[in-house]
Structures are given as structure tokens and as C-alpha cells.
Structure 1
């Protein structure tokens, strides 16, 4: 923190009031009741319990804008912006002296203190915030106009992050709706027929996965896992998500290349999870050679002479397992459910003409690019927020040194015109 800044202990400039459990909790959200503000309520914005207005005399009320802190539990020290509600017994209200401390500035200061407060909790069974540690925190006392500028900037960044999350979620919902429609009606306006996997266009064939793909299960680790940078990179189920493969944490194993045999990955191979969330599937799109995969993954490669687009099959597996539940109970009935090679091979899937498969993939790829764009924007904004939060709260930079013009531009709404056509 800047040596030039005046600081005071937090206990000198805030009042701390612990929440109390009200006499009654009801599920009725009528005008005569107030939301019961738990940590989940602050995270989701959705109240599930309410307090009758007749019981408010014995309750602790929080108001919009005033910081509240999780006092008890594993997330003790996490801070939220208050809402008009009844505060839960596991929370505490932090009321700044508004003659010296802005509520928003106090909120962001407390965000910087989470690790210290969470690591310093007391209590042998249920951890709770150390009041002594909390009140001893040294908070900079800047001129109120500067505090408000700092909190305004950081609130704008938080809103921008939340917007990107909402846009990503909305686009993901568009994709789910598009997938349900595409795999039921197709793109050619054909009549439908009833099949074992539900209604599909009349010209679509239904084939067992093993009739269109060669299926090869991966290698067993057998203690060959290496923590070093040498060895053969291999993918695990934790690298495979629905529709994408994450290479941020790729394990390596010491194994002779000849033992890998035909388990080297090629561009276009479809990987399907045998364990974990069974059926989760994504296509290996990298041209980089030298990757293999573990035995909890199946590699599907189109049979010679077949007409199947692996990304179409990956999308269908998501529909079949997640949206239409055609594969409910597909896993082997063991202690830990798994999707054996034999069971995977016999699962039915739709096989339209290859050009229609590719057209469907193109539509879904366009939506995926939109989702990824929002994810990337959110990541960039989160990194900027963390950097500014630290630098502004320590005096490394001052708010009047920043060019804030980029934050004044209105966010692009998610309009029907911007959505991919289906």
C-alpha cells in the first residue's frame, strides 16, 4: 500500500452486525414479506425463502449497496453487495461511516482481504471470520470523490464481466435449442418418421455407432505417469468437454511408442468418455502429432468408405445423452458407471447425407464461435479487474491516471438478428 496514504483500522470506520435467524421462514414472496438473504441468494439473485414483515423487529436488515460478509462456513470472508433483505445468521452486515468511507470502496477493499480472512478463520467445527483480524485490517482513507471514482470503475468492470457471462449462457441456450431442432427436423424440410431414437427426418438412416466408426480404447496408465516434461502426452477424461478439448493440463507418460500401436491421435478423431460423465465427446482438431489417450477414453475413427462427419457425431452424442435422454442407462451397471466399447458400439445414431451433416456442423460451429468469443471477453475482463483491484487498492496506480473511455461504450445486446439462422 502506498506509504503516502492515510490508513485506519477497519474497526474504526465500520460497524459490524451479525445476522440472526428469523422466527419464521416462508416460501411466499408476497408484498408483505422480505427475502431471506443467504450466500446462495446473493450469488444467484433468486430468493427461495422469505420473512413475514410482522417478524422484522427481531431481524437484521441489509439494504441495497451496503457490504455483507459470509461470517461462517468454508467461504467465510467472501463479500457481496447488499440488497434490501433480511440477513441470514451466517452473514454479517458491514456498515461504513459514510463521512469517511464509501460503501462501494469498502466492498472492493474487503474483496482484496478474502484470502487473509478465509485463511485466518477460527472455530474447531464450523470456521468463522476472526473479528479481531477483520477489524484490524488497515483500509486506505482517500478523499470520498476518489473512493467513489474507484468503486464506480470497478462496478462497471463487474457489470461487464456479468454481461459476458449472461451472453455466453444465452448463446449456449440457443445452441441447445438449435441442436434439439436440428436433430429432430433436419435442414431439408422433410417429413419425419418415428425411430428408436425418436423422430428424425424421413431420409435419415439409423445405424449402430460401431457400424460407422472404428472404436479403439486407450492405454492403461499402469504407474507410468510422469510429472516431468518428457514422455508422451496423453489425454484424460478431464481434458474432454462437450464439444471441445482443453489442453491446458495435459499429462505425460513414459511408454515405448511401439506399445501405443494405433492409439496415436489423428486430426478428426472423435474422443468419447468411458467414465466420469459417460458419453462426453469432442473431436481432436489439432494437427500436432505424438498425442495418445488413456483407457477411460474411446477413440472413434470413421470406417473406410463410410460417410460420417465426426463433429456431427459428437453433437449427436450431446443431444442423445444430455437433451433427448435416448441413451439413459447406457452405462454398464457397475459400482462406477462406465461406457464399455461393446455398449458404445451398439448405440444407435442418426446418419443423414454427408452434405446435411456438414451443414448442421457449420451452424453449430457458428454458435460455438459466439460462445467462445464471450468466454474470451469474460476472461480478459476478469484479468483486468483483478489487476486494477490490486493496483487501485494499493496506490500503485491512481484512478485519474486511467483512460476509462472504453468502458463508456454500450455493450452489444444479444438480439435475434445476431443469432445464427437455423
Structure 2
């Protein structure tokens, strides 16, 4: 396995460029990265990325939990050789990092998920492809080449779409299916609500659906079933802009789409079939019958749910509160991780996301028992700033900082980062 540059080498690269007056195009400090990333986005995109549920208290809790845990460095240990690689679900990865599945990447950059794929591949970080991607999974997989990828599944209320997504994920060489459990309905996301902006209603972030044969069958049925309800009164400028957005993002030629009922029917169909609110743990058996791929569940916060996940036979659990976007006033993901670790007790890999902003956060999650960590908003900020290069730089910075954290705390492998390193 080829090892990417250590943190010191990344540092040297940055400092050497500084001699010639060049500073990093993507800031290394978490606050600066967030400010620059949000500044590079349109107002609707900025709100979509940064909003949490309700008052945002869950996002605050995520950060406070990291602040409560302090690292205790150890001295005079030989850290001249350090190794970040891990083994996960039978595959060897260069580091304990993956990209979290984030939808509607086109709001941050026109190259969207293709840029994420390029950046993740260049940084040596596996990509979890989103159901709400802006590009069909087949195109993303082509960009990734032989680089590892998983597929995140939002469980539609149409079984044919679920099975089709799984079959396509198998065909593109996905190493696992990640079922997101916490988004059977959208949380009360106040910034989006105040703007009255839902990207999916404008045709953004639904490329997995419009490229899917089972979904297209549903659209065909809708179109052939009649025109449906038409808007009342004269169209407003906002309605015209929405129609143009829907038309632009639908597969095919723009002028033909403008005259066609299919783009609008696709959006209406998506809004109806997106989620299944009566999903239960028993339904995971249906997914197991569909595929031999490892199945992970994402969004677990409760110790009781962790036990139910194990009873359902999942191959991995991702402890996550969706970055604070679903439930206001929820438990911090890091606190949930700490409680769930002894229940899982190493029976399956335990991954983590929500609130991760820097390499030190990754270190703390690993110390509390995470097998690997998913990076979310930070790489989206890098995407907005500099496209694929921005994604690569953010992920390289995470790897570099984690490596230097290992050196400065006296550990040489991921396995050595455990609870003894925390106060």
C-alpha cells in the first residue's frame, strides 16, 4: 500500500510555497475554512449547507462535546515512523477517513460530485456516494476508477427504486451499502424554511433518480396518467426561475425539456417517493435478501438502537446526528459514540460523523472507539473554494494534522489511539 505524504511533508510543501509568496488556497484553520467556503457559495447554498434543525442547539452540542474531551500527550516515544492505514470491512484504507455522503454538491460547485470524486481519489480517501448526488453514480464511479466507494441509500417508499439503486450500486463496484435511518422526513431546517428553498423541488440533487430506470417508469406513469394539478393564476418570476432550474437539471436537451412534461413530473414524483416513514428494523432483512454487500446503518444515537442494529445483523454502524440537521436539542454524536462503544464491543465496525472540523476531532473520535471517521461539511467548503483541488486539500490537511497529532502525542498507529490518550 502506497503511503501518502506525512504531515511534516505537507507542512514543508506549504512553507516552501510561502517563500515565493504563495499561501494555501484552502485555509487550514477550521473557522477560516468555513468562512471562506460559505463566502464562495450563493446565499441559498450557504444556508442549505450551514443550517441545523430548529435553534441549532444540536450543532452546538456536537462542538461542546469535543471541547469537553481533552488530549493527554505522551512524551519520549519513538514516533519516527507512523502509520494511519486501517482495515475496514475486509478492505485496506490509507487512513481512517471517508467522505460523508452529502447531497446537492452542485450548490457548492458546478462540477459537483465529480469534483468530490477527483479530490477524494487524489487524497486517498474513500468516497460514500449520496443518493442525493447531483451526478449519476455511474459517472461518479467512472471518475473514481478503482478508488474505493460505498453507496448511501435513502430508502424510498417505492420498492422498485430501492432495489434498482442497490443493483446499480453493486454494478459500480460499491464496497458497502450505507442506509441512512434518520431522514425519513426532513428536519425543521430554519434557514432553508425562511428562504422557502428546497433544492430538490427545483430539480437539484436528484440525478440518481432521474437516471434510474425504475424511477423513470414511475415518471412515465405520472405523465401518461394526466397533466395533474396546474398552478393557479399567472406564473410569478420565481416560478419561472424554478421551472428553468428543473428543466436545466433534467437529462436531455434544454429546449426539448422546456416543452416536455417529464422534468416537472420527475420532481413531483421524487417529492412523493423520496422517503418511507414506516420503515422498521425488520425491513433490513429485505435489504439483506437483495444484496451480499456489507450493510451499514447511519444515524444511530441510542444505545437501544445500537443493540437493535446488531440483532438485525448489520455489518457496521455509523453514529451520527446528521450534523445537527434533523433533531433540535439532540444528544451530541460524540456523547452517543462513547455510550454505544461498549454495547457494540467490537462486534462490527463503529464509524462516526457530526461535528468533525479538524484532525484533533478525528483523533478524539478514534480515541473514544470509532473505527473510522466521515468528514462532511469541511470538504464541501473546500469544494466551494477550489473544486476538486479544494476537496483534495481539505482531506490532505485532515490527514496531515492527524499524522502530526500522532507524532506530538506519542502514538505510531491508529490502534494506539485509545481512551488512555484522553482526560
Q: Is TM (by shorter chain) over 0.5? A: no
For this structure pair, what is the TM-score category when the shorter chain's length is used for normalisation?
under 0.3
Relative contact order: is structure 1 or structure 2 higher (C-alpha 8 Å, sep ≥ 6)?
Answer: 2
TM-score when scaled to structure 2? Answer: 0.26
Structure with the higher helix share, 1 or 2: 2
TM-score when scaled to structure 1? Answer: 0.26
